[in-house]
Structure 1
C-alpha cells in the first residue's frame, strides 16, 4: 500500500521543535508505512534557531522518512503587542504559507506514494486545523506540555463555555482541578491564563482542538500522569495518545548543533565530571531563556559555596533592560561573580555557559538538577533518574513545579511561584542563599523518598516505550488510526 504522509507544523521555538522532532523519529521508527514532512517557520527573532532550521533543511531527508521544509515568516511583531497574544497571531498569519507548502507537496507527489493522511500540529498552532480541513484530512494536536497542564486548560475552557465561570486573579484563590488530588493555587498559573486578553485566545484554541481535532497527542506516559490522562480519556475530548517520553537521549552527534567550539566545551565539561564521585554533583541550568540579575546570582553563589557540595552551573547573561532577545554568554564570569569565589570553590565547582544538558544529566556524577521545570527538561531528568529542585521562571513552569512537588513527589521545592521579569535587569524577588542551600542538601540525599520515586519513574519511562509498554501500545493505536483514516 501507499505510504501515509503526515504534515507536521511545530511552533517555531526550541522547547517546541525539539520534542516534535523526537516524536517524529518515534513514529517513523515504529512503522515504515509513515512519511513525515515538517514545516518550520523561519522566525526573525532568533538567528541561532533560524540557522538550526537551515541545517535541518540542508540535511533533509532524515532517515529517508522525515523531510524538513522551511517557511518564510513575514509577520511583524509590534513592540506593544502582548507576547502571549502575539504567539497566536503569528501562527494564524502562517496559515497561507502552510497551505501553499502542502499544495506543492501534493503536486510533487502526484499519484505516487506517499499520500496525505493528516496534520500533526503544535498546541499553539491550532489555527492549522483550518488548513487541514481545507485538504479534507484530520488534525492531531501534539502537546509539548504535561498532561496535567492540558487537563487544566480544558477544565478552564469547560468552566468558561459551559458553566460561565470566570477565573479569579486573586493570588490566594485555590482551583479544584478534577485531575489533581491537591487544589491548585492561582498564583502558580501561567500569565497567559491570568491575562484576560491572552486567556480568551488560548481557551478559544483549546475549544477548537476539542471540537475539531481527531486526536490529542501528549508528550508524557501513563505511569507518570495517570490521573490527568484518565481525565483526558473522557469521551467529551478527542482520543488522547500519551506517547512519551519523546526526548533526545543520544549523547553526541547533533546533540546541540553548536559546532566545533561547542564540542570542545562539551568534552571539557564531561572530562571534569569524569573526575567527580557518583551522584555527587548538583547541576544548575535554566533553559534557553532563563537568566537572573546580579543580586540573585550572588545568592546562588553563596548557597553553593556554603553548602560545600560539588556543582556544575550553567550561567547565562541577562539581556539589557527592554531588549527582547535571548540570554547571551559572559565574556568573563568575573563580570558578575568575584574572582575570590572561583578561587574558594575551584576544588568543588565549575561554571559554564552553554550546557550540553542531556550529556550532563546522563553522567553518573550528577546527583541532582536545579531546573526551570520546562517540560522537556523534566522528562529528560526523570528519564535519566535525576531528581529535580524546582525553580520555575515563566510560561507553565510554575504549574509544572507544583505538579512535580505536590502531585508526583519527584522533586523538591526551591520555589513554586517564582516569575522572571523579562523587562527588567533586576529580579522581582530574590531567593535567599539559606533556602537554596537547604534545598540542595535535600536534593542530594541518597536515600530520600524523592530519589526513590525518581528511580522508579525512570524505570517505568524506559518500559513505557518498549514492546508492550503503555506508550508503545498507544503509538500502535495512533498509527493504525492514521492509516485506517486515510482518504
Structure 2
C-alpha cells in the first residue's frame, strides 16, 4: 500500500512568519482536498518570548482538527560572536540542517514527503532537500517587490560605493517598480555591515534553485513586479523560479467573545473618522518622538486611536506597556478627550482595522499589517522603521497608490516632526484632499480585488490549484 503523502513546512519562529506560513499551508491543504497532509517542523525559537508565542500557536492549531502534524526539532547551540541578527539566523539555521534531514527521513514509510516549503531566510536547508531528492519551495512572507530586489542584489552591488546604499546618488533599478531612491532601500541593506548584504544576496541567489517561490501577494496588487521576475529581468540570462502568488495570506487573531476596550471605544465614533497609529510588535519611539506625535495629532483635529508602547523590556527587542504619565506631554489627554484614545499595551490590530469607524492607518509597513489594512480597504500613512519596510512604503505610495507619503529624517532614526504628521493625517483623512481621496479609492478597490482573488476563479485561487497539481505531479514523477 502506498504511503500517505505529506508536504513538509519549515517556518521561521515569530508570529509574522510562523502564522503566515502556517496559513499558507492550510490553504494548500484545503485546495488539495485530502490529497496530502501537512507536517510542520518546529524549531526552538532563540528567545523565550518567541518560544512562548510559537508554543501557543502550535497548541491551538494542533487542536484544530486539521490534517496537520507538528514535529519539534531538537534544540541546537546558539551561535556566538554574530555581528547582528541576520548573521545569527543564518548560522542558527545551518546548525539545524542535520536535524531537519533526520526528521524528514523519519517520516517514511508512513508518510511520503512530496515537497518541502521553507521560510525565505532558510535557503541553507535546500541542501537537505537536494540530498533527499525532494522538490523545494520558498515561502516568501514579504511583497514581490522585496523578492525582486533580493534577486537583483548581485547586479546592484556594482552601484555600491560603500557597505550599503548610503553613498549611492542615483535611483536604483528594481524591475517592476519606479526608480527607487537609495533612501527607500530596506534598512537591512542601507544601515548595515556588508555581511548583511552578503547574506541577503546569498538567499537571493539560492531562490533560483527553488522549484518555485510561493509569494504572499496577489497578481492584481503587484502585477508589474511579478511580471518582471517571471520575464527574467531581475536575473538576466537565467530562467526565473516559478512564482505562485497565493495572497493575501492573513492570520486573524482568534476572538474570545470579549470586545476589547479599543473596539468598544470605536463603537462610539462616526464612520471612517478615526486614524489608527500602530507600529508592530517591535515598533517603539523615544520620548522626543512621542511628544511630536502627540502635538501632530492634537493639531490635526482628527479622531485617533494611538497604540503607544513603552521602551523594550530589558534584554529583549520587544516593547513594554507604556507609562502614559511619563511619556505623554502634560495636558495632552485632557486636550484630546473625547476624540482620541491612547492605548498603552497590545491591541487587536486586525479587529480594529475591520471596524467601520477606522478611516486611516499610520503604520510601520510590516507586510502583514499592510495586507490587513488593504483587506479592510483602509488607506495608509507609511512610517517604516526596520527590515524591508522602507521599500514597502515606497511601493505603497509610488507603485500602488494606497498611501499618503510621510517625510522623515532618516539620519535621526526616521524622526517625524509634528507639523509633518499633522499634514499627512489631514491629507489622508480630510475629504478635501485629492491625495487622500485617491488613496482611499484605491484602497477600497484593492480590498475588492483581494476578495475576488481568493474566491473561486480568482487569481490566487487558480495559483493554489496549479501549485497543488504541480506538487502531486512531481511526486508521481510526471514532471
Contact 1:143 / 1:219 at 8 angstroms: preserved in 2?
yes
Contact 2:271 / 2:356 at 8 angstroms: preserved in 1?
yes
- Of residues 440, 445, 452, the one that matches 2:430 is 445
Deviations 1:355-388 (A, max 9, x none): 1111000011100000000111111101110001
Counterparts in 2 of 1:338 and 1:417: CA distance versus 1, 3 Å: closer
Question: Corresponding residue for 2:146?
Answer: 149
Deviations 1:59-101 (A, max 9, x none): 4154332222333443425365222222211211221222222
| In 2, Cα distance between equivalents of 1:43 and 1:3 | 29
Matched, 1:308 2:301: yes
- Of residues 460, 464, 483, the one that matches 2:449 is 460
Structure 1 runs not aligned, ≥5 long: 254-262, 420-426
Contact 1:401 / 1:416 at 8 angstroms: preserved in 2?
no
Deviations 1:381-423 (A, max 9, x none): 011100010100001000000010011111111247748xxxx
Counterparts in 2 of 1:58 and 1:458: CA distance versus 1, 3 Å: closer
Contact 2:408 / 2:415 at 8 angstroms: preserved in 1?
no
Question: Corresponding residue for 2:236?
Answer: none
- Of residues 282, 291, 294, the one that matches 2:284 is 291
Question: Corresponding residue for 1:87?
Answer: 89
- Of residues 397, 408, 412, the one that matches 1:405 is 397
Question: Corresponding residue for 1:193?
Answer: 189
Question: Corresponding residue for 1:41?
Answer: 43
- Of residues 69, 73, 77, the one that matches 1:67 is 69
SS in 2 for 1:141: strand
Matched, 1:336 2:327: yes
Question: Corresponding residue for 1:18?
Answer: 19
| In 2, Cα distance between equivalents of 1:69 and 1:6 | 13
Q: Is the deviation greater in 285-294 or in 189-198? A: 189-198
For the aligned residue pairs, the C-alpha RMSD in angstroms reads 2.2
Q: Give runs of aligned pairs for residues 41-440 of structure 1, distance below 5 A.
A: 41-45=43-47, 47-59=48-60, 60=62, 62-78=64-80, 81-106=83-108, 110=109, 112=110, 114-159=111-156, 166=160, 168-180=165-177, 182-194=178-190, 195-210=193-208, 212-234=209-231, 236-249=239-252, 252-253=255-256, 267-319=260-312, 323-330=315-322, 332-352=323-343, 353-415=345-407, 418=410, 428-440=413-425
Question: Corresponding residue for 1:260?
Answer: none
Contact 2:405 / 2:424 at 8 angstroms: preserved in 1?
yes
Question: Corresponding residue for 2:235?
Answer: none
Contact 2:104 / 2:113 at 8 angstroms: preserved in 1?
no
Deviations 1:411-436 (A, max 9, x none): 111247748xxxxxxx6353111100
Question: 1:443, CA displacement in angstroms?
Answer: 1.3
Contact 2:408 / 2:417 at 8 angstroms: preserved in 1?
no
| In 2, Cα distance between equivalents of 1:76 and 1:455 | 46
Normalization by structure 2: what TM-score? 0.90
Question: 1:44, CA displacement in angstroms?
Answer: 2.8
Contact 2:309 / 2:319 at 8 angstroms: preserved in 1?
yes
SS in 2 for 1:67: strand
Question: Corresponding residue for 1:422?
Answer: none
SS in 2 for 1:244: coil
Q: Number of paired residues?
A: 457
Q: Is the deviation greater in 2-11 or in 270-279? A: 2-11
SS in 2 for 1:175: coil
SS in 2 for 1:411: coil
| In 1, Cα distance between equivalents of 2:413 and 2:54 | 34
Question: 1:478, CA displacement in angstroms?
Answer: 0.4
| In 2, Cα distance between equivalents of 1:371 and 1:294 | 19
Structure 2 runs not aligned, ≥5 long: 233-238
Counterparts in 2 of 1:237 and 1:357: CA distance versus 1, 3 Å: same
Contact 2:138 / 2:210 at 8 angstroms: preserved in 1?
yes
Deviations 1:431-475 (A, max 9, x none): 111100110111113470110111111100100011110111110
Q: Is the deviation greater in 361-370 or in 25-34? A: 25-34
Counterparts in 2 of 1:461 and 1:484: CA distance versus 1, 3 Å: same
Q: Is the deviation greater in 444-453 or in 239-248? A: 444-453
| In 1, Cα distance between equivalents of 2:200 and 2:40 | 24
| In 2, Cα distance between equivalents of 1:227 and 1:462 | 20
Question: Corresponding residue for 1:472?
Answer: 461
